[in-house]
Every structure is written in structure tokens, then in C-alpha cells.
């Protein structure tokens, strides 16, 4: 909470330092990159306070609340510079647009799709698509938005949404794209080998940080060519800047990342999108305009896009240079730096079992049905999905007829029935092969890295198998039903004798414990 010593700056209330509406029709946006004076004020304000440490969610049980984590540190950053309204408006937006999500992080909002919703159909409903935000949600009027294009272009320019959406000026495209957070399945790494514990950068995602939609917009390649006359020869990267506010180690920024220009040249791979599944972008997904970079880590798909710069090297924004880095297992808190990891761009091949869930008790007739998703980035499509009922020794291919159609930049949902004779605890796992013959490491240890990104190992679940086709099991299930009981909770002891005295005596005498001689 603010105190008398910290609720003002040079006699001015904190709430009056930075305008909530920095431009007409741009609420929740504050320009930082072109205002070094503002950055200096924020730097001083942040030095005046002590902020809470990130919560411990790796060496301690993950809370079972919803929201799971509150993001108190990032809320405190905003409070320290008088921007509480951004926090409040963002949560109001979540409750309106994303009421049925697992709220992994309340602020900045990180929301995960529930498994049953993820498997409903190939395209994820807008209200159920996962969200991974790095700051608050700006409210920008479409008619007020101007997109600035500058840097190493032949003709710096500003274009309106009206111009951008005019199909006589810019060719439009619709592309089916899966977006995936690099933290998808991070909990598997956390549970075995904890790493960096920043609750925003390394939020404890499960298997629901992925979703698929049809995005409509204009390829960035065409916008640069038509509106800005193309780029200069020295241009190698395109920077994408969003209107949200981001903090990193005592500094404040507008969200900024970049993609190589060679990626932009692939036309549909980088889209300036205003529509998602046939509807205007939800505010929490970047309305009125966002970038969608197909096949890449989701962090490159800037929301609330308002500025594009052609650069000779990657963006200097911290999200580009200091985060989403992949390290070797020998690097960690003792020796990690920004420069000894490499930037994650294309997403690797990965997959997950969403049904049944881990630690389920499955009563079956000799077959168990599994369902899940499979995805590969970089324009590689999913070619084959294989599942194993014994931890990865024997693999069964999923029938292609039981998979959704192929796309260059989207997942395939799958289902299959596996023959299962064994009872008790079994370990199922899934792996995917893509069109370039890439597959997944067998164990999570092979993919561990300090920032806990791209958990691309074969996904594993443990289930308790109850095969009702076995006579003894069928008898026990009948007994349970007669006593008004079931197999769950699995650990609850039976309330009746395991067998009567006559049965026990007969079985004991038939198979005595000790030899006769």
C-alpha cells in the first residue's frame, strides 16, 4: 500500500503522473519508448519501494484457488507509479471475456483452457482460448488507432485501421493458426526439476496453454511493401510494439519483440490480424489489431499493435533479449546470463494427453480411450501420433482417421483406443512425429532448462487400470455396487471383508504359504 512518503512525486499525486488515456481513444496506454523522461521518473519511483518476492510455487504445492496466483508483485509495480486502474480494468475484462478459464495468474492475466473445452473441436472458441499477457489490457478505439511504420523502410508512414482493412489497398488473408505459450506443460519440469521462479515469466502452465483459431488480416509483408515502399537493404528484423506496459528489473517499457525479416517474407507467416474465428478480436486478445506469427513462440504475436520498426538486428526489448531464452542443463542460477542462452522462435514438436487425466481410475473392458493434441511449429505439420501403454517401450500409431485435418500452422486433435490387459498403475505416454521427421525426447529430464521453456518431451500420465473383463475384478466391482460403493476414492479402505472365512480357508488350503517338506 502507498504511504504518505510514496503516494506522490515532487508534490504531484501518483495518479496524475501518467495519463490513463495518453491519446484520445487510447485508454490504458502510456507511451514509454518515446518518453525517456517518463522512464526516469518510473525508475526513481520503483527505487523508493520494497516489492514482494515471487510466490514459491515450485518447492511448495501449487495453490488450488482460482486465480491460482495473484501477481501481487506486478500489481505493486503499477500501484507504485499510480496505474492501479490498469490492474482493475484488466481483471474486469477477464471476468467479462474469460469467465470459464483456469485463471493461472490474475495480473498480468494468464488464463489456461480447461481440458474438456480444449478438446471440443479443432477451433478453440474465442472465450476459451488461452491468454498469456505481459501487462494490462488497453482499451483502444478502432477509429483512433494509427499504426506507425518506421526504421529501415523506404517511406515511414502511419496508417489507419480503415485503410488497413480496405481490401482494395491491401490483400487480405485468413490463416488457421495454433498459438502456443513456450511455457506449455511447464509443470512437468517444475515437479521434477525446479528452475527460475518468476511467476509471470515462468508461470506454472499445464497442457492447456495452447489454442487454435482462424485469423483474418493482412500479411505484414504486403503492408511493408505497399504502405512503406519496402525495406532498406540493411533491414534484417521487424520489431512489433504493443500498447501494454511491461516492467523488467526496475525499468518500464512498452511490449516489444521482433521477428526476422526472412520470416515476414513468407507472407502468411506474419499477419496483422483484426479478426479471430470470424469475429472482431476480443479486447484481451489484442483488439483492435495484433500480430500473429504462425509457427512461432506465442510471445512474438504482439497484441494491441501500434508500432512497427524495420531494424538491422533484433529488438532490444527485454522480452526479446532477456526472456524466452533456451539454456543447457548445465546453466542455472549459479551461472546463467542473457547471452549464454539462445532466443526461442519456432516451436518444437510436442503433444499431450488430455483424457484421461493424470492419476485417474479407469474401469474398462480391455481397452482405454485416450484423447489429446499434437503440434509442431515452423511450418512443419503433424504427420503421426503414437501412444504407449507401458511408459514408452511399445508404441501404437493413432489412426489418421481419428485425427483432425492437417494444416501448415495448426495442431491436430487425436483420439485412440489402446488394448490394455494389465491392472494397477500404468504409465501412458504420447509422442508426435512431424513432417520433417522430428519427434520428442522420451523423458522430461532431456528437455529441462533453467527457464523451464518448451517442455517438448513425451507427455506422460499415470492411470489406475481396472479391467472388468477379469473375473476377480468383475466380482469385486459387483460387491462394491452391492455395498453402495465405488472404486473411488482409490485410497479409501473397503468397508467390508476382502473375503469370507470359508473362502479364505479354501484358498489357503489349496495354496498353503509353507512347503510340506
Output the pLDDT for position 153. 98
Burial of 186 (0-12, 13-18, 19+ CB in 10 A): buried
Query: Mean pLDDT, to the nearest integer, of 299-324?
Result: 97
Tell me 134's DSSP state: S
Q: Which helix (H) or strand (E) holds 362?
A: strand 360-364
Mean pLDDT, residues 223-245:
98
Domain locations along the chain: 8-343, 349-467, 471-510
pLDDT-based confidence at residue 516 (cuts at 50, 70, 90): confident
pTM of the model: 0.95
Q: Which CATH number fits domain 349-467: 3.40.250.10, 2.60.40.420, 2.60.40.1220, 2.60.40.650?
A: 2.60.40.650
- pLDDT of the residue at 5: 57
**Highest CATH level, class, for 8-343:** alpha beta
pLDDT tens figures, 61-88: 999 999 999 999 999 999 999 999 999 9
Average the pLDDT over each of 97-101, 441-445, 512-516 and give the range with the smallest value.
512-516
CB atoms < 10 A from the CB of 85, how many?
Answer: 14
For range 47-51, the mean pLDDT: 95
> For residue range 159-178, what is the model confidence (pLDDT) as tens digits?
999 999 999 999 999 999 99
Is residue 264 classed exposed, middle or buried when 0-12, 13-18 and 19+ CB atoms within 10 A define those classes?
buried
Helix or strand (DSSP H, E) at 478: helix 471-482
Q: Look at residue 399 and tell me whether its pLDDT is greater than 90.
A: yes
| pLDDT at 380 > cutoff 60 | yes
**What's residue 258's pLDDT?**
98
**Predicted confidence (pLDDT) at residue 2 exceeds the cutoff of 50:** no
Q: What is the pLDDT of residues 444-474, one digit of tens each?
A: 999 899 999 999 999 999 999 999 999 999 9
* Lateral strand order in the sheet of 367-375: 350-355, 367-375, 412-419
Positive or negative, the Cα torsion across 152, 158, 160, 165? negative
Angle made by CA atoms 452, 333, 195, in degrees to the nearest 5: 25
Q: What is the mean pLDDT of the chain?
A: 96
User: Of 423, 422, 174, which Cα lies nearest the Cα of 276?
Assistant: 174
- pLDDT of 476 above 60: yes
CA atoms within 13 A on the CB side of 22: 17
Instruction: Give the pLDDT band (50/70/90) at residue 7.
Output: confident
**CA-wise closest residue to 190 among 206, 208, 210:** 206
pLDDT for 239 beyond 70: yes
Residues contacting residue 456 through CB under 8 Å, at least 6 positions apart: 348, 349, 350, 440, 441, 447
In this prediction, residue 222 has a pLDDT band, given cuts at 50, 70 and 90, of: very high
Amino acid at each position: 500500500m502507498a504511504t504518505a512518503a510514496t503516494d506522490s512525486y515532487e508534490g504531484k499525486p501518483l495518479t496524475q503522473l501518467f495519463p490513463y488515456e495518453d491519446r484520445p481513444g487510447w485508454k490504458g496506454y502510456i507511451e514509454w519508448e518515446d518518453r525517456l523522461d517518463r522512464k526516469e521518473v518510473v525508475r526513481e519511483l520503483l527505487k523508493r519501494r520494497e516489492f514482494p518476492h515471487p510466490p514459491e510455487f515450485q518447492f511448495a504445492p501449487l495453490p488450488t484457488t482460482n486465480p491460482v496466483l495473484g501477481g501481487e508483485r506486478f500489481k505493486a509495480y503499477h500501484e507504485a507509479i499510480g496505474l492501479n486502474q490498469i490492474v482493475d480494468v484488466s481483471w474486469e475484462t477477464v471476468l467479462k471475456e474469460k469467465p470459464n478459464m483456469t485463471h493461472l495468474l490474475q495480473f498480468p492475466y494468464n488464463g489456461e483452457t480447461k481440458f474438456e473445452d480444449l478438446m471440443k473441436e479443432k477451433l478453440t472458441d474465442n472465450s476459451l482460448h488461452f491468454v498469456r499477457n505481459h501487462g494490462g489490457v488497453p482499451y483502444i478505439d478502432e477509429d483512433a488507432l494509427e499504426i506507425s511504420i518506421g526504421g529501415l523502410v523506404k517511406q515511414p508512414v502511419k496508417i489507419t485501421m480503415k485503410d488497413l482493412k480496405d481490401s482494395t489497398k491491401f490483400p487480405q488473408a485468413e490463416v488457421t493458426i495454433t498459438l502456443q505459450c513456450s511455457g506449455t506443460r511447464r509443470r512437468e519440469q517444475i515437479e521434477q526439476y525446479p528452475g527460475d521462479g518468476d511467476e509471470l515469466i515462468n508461470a506454472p502452465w499445464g497442457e492447456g496453454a495452447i489454442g487454435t483459431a482462424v485469423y483474418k488480416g493482412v500479411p505484414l509483408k504486403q503492408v511493408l511493401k505497399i504502405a512503406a515502399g519496402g525495406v532498406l537493404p540493411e533491414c534484417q528484423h521487424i520489431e512489433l510494439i504493443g500498447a501494454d506496459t511491461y516492467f523488467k528489473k526496475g525499468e518500464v517499457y512498452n511490449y516489444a519483440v521482433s521477428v526476422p525479416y526472412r520470416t515476414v517474407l513468407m507472407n502468411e507467416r506474419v499477419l496483422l490480424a483484426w479478426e479471430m474465428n470470424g469475429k472482431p478480436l476480443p479486447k484481451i486478445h489484442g483488439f483492435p489489431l495484433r500480430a500473429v506469427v504462425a509457427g512461432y513462440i506465442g510471445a512474438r504475436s504482439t497484441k494491441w499493435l501500434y508500432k512497427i520498426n524495420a531494424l538491422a538486428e533484433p529488438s532490444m526489448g527485454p522480452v526479446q533479449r532477456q526472456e524466452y531464452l533456451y539454456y543447457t542443463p548445465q546453466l542455472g542460477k549459479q551461472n546463467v546470463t542473457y547471452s549464454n542462452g539462445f532466443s526461442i522462435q519456432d516451436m518444437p514438436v510436442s503433444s499431450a494427453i488430455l483424457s484421461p487425466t493424470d492419476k485417474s481410475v479407469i474401469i474398462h473392458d480391455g481397452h482405454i480411450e485416450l484423447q489429446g493434441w499434437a503440434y509442431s511449429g515452423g511450418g512443419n505439420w503433424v504427420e503421426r501420433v503414437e501412444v504407449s501403454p507401458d511408459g514408452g517401450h511399445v508404441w501404437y500409431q493413432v489412426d489418421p482417421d481419428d485425427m483432425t485435418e492437417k494444416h501448415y500452422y495448426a495442431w491436430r486433435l487425436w483420439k485412440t483406443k489402446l488394448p490394455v490387459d494389465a491392472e494397477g498403475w500404468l504409465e501412458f505416454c504420447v509422442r508426435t512425429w512431424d513432417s520433417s521427421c522430428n519427434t520428442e525426447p522420451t523423458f522430461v529430464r532431456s528437455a529441462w532448462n533453467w527457464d523451464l521453456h518448451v517442455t517438448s518431451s513425451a507427455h506422460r500420465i499415470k492411470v489406475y487400470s481396472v479391467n472388468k473383463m477379469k473375473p476377480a475384478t468383475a466380482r469385486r466391482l459387483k460387491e462394491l455396487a452391492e455395498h453402495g460403493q465405488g472404486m473411488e476414492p482409490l485410497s479409501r479402505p473397503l468397508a467390508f471383508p476382502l473375503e469370507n472365512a470359508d473362502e479364505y480357508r479354501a484358498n489357503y488350503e489349496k495354496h498353503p504359504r509353507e512347503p510340506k517338506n
